[in-house]
Amino acid sequence: MKEKLGPMNALYPTPTTLVGALVGGKPNFITIAHIGIMTHTHISLGMGKIHYTNAGIKENKTFSVCLPSEDLVVETDYCGIMTGKKTDKAALFDVFYGELKTAPMIQQCNVCMECRLDRTVDFDTHDIFIGEIVQTYADQSILLDNHPDISKLKPLLFDMNSKKYWSLGEEVGKCWNIGKQLKTGKA
Contacting a copy of itself within 39-78 (CB under 8 A):
39-44, 46, 65, 67, 70, 73-78
Q: How far is the CB of 56 from a copy of itself (least distance, A)?
A: 20
State which of residues 25, 50, 94, 173 lies at the interface with a copy of itself (CB under 8 A): 173
In the region spanning residues 3 to 42, those forming contacts with a copy of itself, defined by CB under 8 A, are 3-15, 17, 33-42
CB 114 within 8 A of CB 98: yes
Interacting span for a copy of itself (CB under 8 A) from 22-30, 56-64, 80-88: 80-88
- Residue 88 and residue 79: Cα distance in Å, rounded? 10
Instruction: Please tell me whether the peptide bond between 13 and the residue prior to it is cis, using omega within 30 degrees of 0.
Output: yes
Assess contact for 156 and 76: CB atoms under 8 A.
yes
Which residues are CB-contacts of 126 (< 8 A; sequence separation ≥ 6)? Answer: 46, 47, 48, 49
The Cα–Cα gap between 6 and 3 comes to 9
Nearer to a copy of itself, 25 or 173 (CB): 173
Interacting positions 122-161 with a copy of itself (CB under 8 A) = 123, 125-126, 128, 130, 132-140, 143-144, 146-151, 153, 155-161
Closest CA to 129 of 22, 53, 71: 53
Query: How many residues make up the chain in this entry?
Result: 187
181 touching a copy of itself, by CB under 8 A? yes
User: How near is the Cβ of 88 to a copy of itself at its closest, in Å?
Assistant: 10
58/144 with CB nearer a copy of itself: 144
